[in-house]
Amino acid sequence: MSTSGNAQTVLVLNSGSSSLKFGVFRRGDEDEDLLLEGSAEGIGRENGSLKILSADGKVLLSQEHLMESQQEALQKLASALAEHLNETLSAVGHRVVHGGPHLREHQLLTPEVLQQLEAAVHFAPLHIPQAVALIKQAQAIFPKCPHFACFDNAFHRTMPEVAAHLPLPTRYFEQGVIHYGFHGISYESIVHRLGDALPERAIFAHLGSGSSVAAVHGGKSIDTSMGLTPTGGVIMGTRTGDLDPGVLLYLMRIESMDADALEKMLNHECGLAALSNGESDMQTLLKRAESSDASAELAISAFSTSVRKFIGAYVALMGGVDLLVFTGGIGQHSDAIRKRICDGLQFIGLDVTSGKIKVMPTEEERQIARHCRLLLASQ
């Protein structure tokens, strides 16, 4: 595949811890038109799979095999695209979770930007090395078109200092230890789609294996639940959410846990999984709760309560709320969780049957394509 000045076709790569989602878009009359989409799932596991779908949902490719790494998955994806895509690429867009303090805007991936990204590894040691490796692999596979980085925390750079400045000695703020926030590309897609229908005071709740809540005032983020990293905020599938720092001191002293051990536990062994004795999937937990499973009920209640508390806080922050949007896998598909979250918020008009509540799918890949299109035009 090579760049064509007229094709204007964008490949979007959205990598997760064990998955690689992708979409191929062409500029339509009003928005980005989807040509192909799919994902490589279960990377590093025996049940790994690769699936490519046409825009109308037709399965073009479905393979079951083990993929050891994101790079192997990308190589297999590239081979499949060469067979099924009769388009040349104009750009490749990458979702990057964290770019550190100096990379807060969507931009062209130059060698200098990659160096800055690598230098920021200590801000997200679980995410940045994987992102850099995937970007370099993609640049090698698709060398004839520009590559762009879209940062998941860019949307939240509008937060005022009162929200961004953590209550730590100032020297750490100057080093970039600040409140960043994440899920920004998802939130940007909602802002884009609502357009003029977006009211002054909105709250967005992206709920999935990773979850966050954001206060959006006048179309801009003024606060959000995730903090320096995607570990903070509401309780998540395997992440703690907000936690008294004294707990970490206790674990360091009593369990002799170092930073790596704490990081592994806080991100992979906590949240819903810890409360339910091992289960992080919300649908499975709901089924267990129907059978009077106390630990599943505890996990569901703790999750719903933590989301409700952030919604209440942001209502207070903005002096009211005109719209609450649920998105993400849980937010979009679980009526039961939405009802639990809103139970008790009826006094501010947030009832599940209220016109103040919308359920919208997240469109991260299409939003990245939109950004790439704008960046291409500015080249």
Could you tell me which residues are annotated as the binding site for substrate?
95
Let me know how long the chain is: 379
Look up residue 103 and give its two tokens: 């990379």
| Burial status of residue 19 (CB atoms within 10 A of its CB: 0-12, 13-18, 19 or more) | middle
What positions carry a catalytic annotation?
A: 152
Number of Cβ within 10 Å of residue 95's Cβ equals 23
Residues of each annotated binding site for ATP: 21, 206-210
**Beta bridge partner(s), residue 259:** none
Instruction: Rounding to the nearest 10 degrees, give the CA dihedral for residues 301, 304, 306, 309.
Output: -120
Residues of each annotated binding site: 14, 21, 95, 206-210, 364
Beta-carbon contacts of residue 337 (< 8 Å; ≥ 6 apart): 207, 282, 286, 300, 303, 304, 330, 331
Look up residue 296 and give its two tokens: 């599943």
Using CA atoms, how far apart are residues 252 and 247, in angstroms rounded to an integer?
9
